[in-house]
Amino acid sequence: MALMKFCGQGHKNPPHAIMCEECLEDLSRVAPVEVDDDNLTLLAVDVDVEVELDELDLLDGLGEPLTPPTVQNEEVLEIVYPGEGLKFRAEDGQTFSAAPGDVVGRAKIGSDVLQDYPTVSRLHFRLARRGETWLLINLSDNGTWVNGQEALSGQELPLAHGDELLLSSKCRLRVLS
């Protein structure tokens, strides 16, 4: 038996993957499942929708508890975390929002704004929260600066309202909330 993560399109990925290797879907919140070693077919997915949401151990990816979620649509179990998310504005006035665990870049969150900047990475940075502090986790080697401080690949830098992000040498974003 082996563990694998499956994206929404059914692509198989290693259990530690944070994004699908084929379609680049965010897998940071996807739990690994057991598969048969011989033919790598999915054996079982155990989903218990009856569980009380306040019994869930909700973490932001860094081991910190998140604000309890609310269920918006029980048919598809869409869970929304209250007050979670940062809004960004590009120099041209376009805006987009991202939540903890989201990857921002030309191929993920903000892609409609960032596609005009070829020097921005497809997966440029990930957002996280530790308590009340927002963190930018740099995933790019193309250059990422927060208020003039350069973030090395994998480095975490705190974010706050009004901060200026420079992604590569061309794309400037402002943190709105």
For residue 24, the 8-state DSSP code is -
Q: What is the pLDDT of residue 14?
A: 87
Distance from C-alpha of 26 to C-alpha of 28, rounded to nearest angstrom? 6
Best CA proximity match to 146, nearest among 120, 112, 173, 106: 173
**Residue, of 166 and 92, whose pLDDT is higher:** 166
Average pLDDT, whole number, for the chain?
A: 75
pTM over 0.75: no
Q: What is the pLDDT of residues 52-88, one digit of tens each?
A: 444 444 444 444 444 444 444 443 333 334 456 888 8
Per-residue pLDDT, 61: 45
pLDDT for residue 17 is more than 90: no
Report the SS3 class of residue 68: coil
What is the identity of the amino acid at 171?
C
How far apart CA 157 and CA 126 sit, in angstroms, is 11
pLDDT in tens, 138-172: 999 888 999 999 999 889 999 988 999 999 878 89
8 A C-beta contact, residue 119 and residue 97: no
Structural domains in the chain, CATH included, are 1-45 (no CATH), 86-175 (2.60.200.20)
> What band does 37 get if pLDDT is binned at 50, 70 and 90?
low
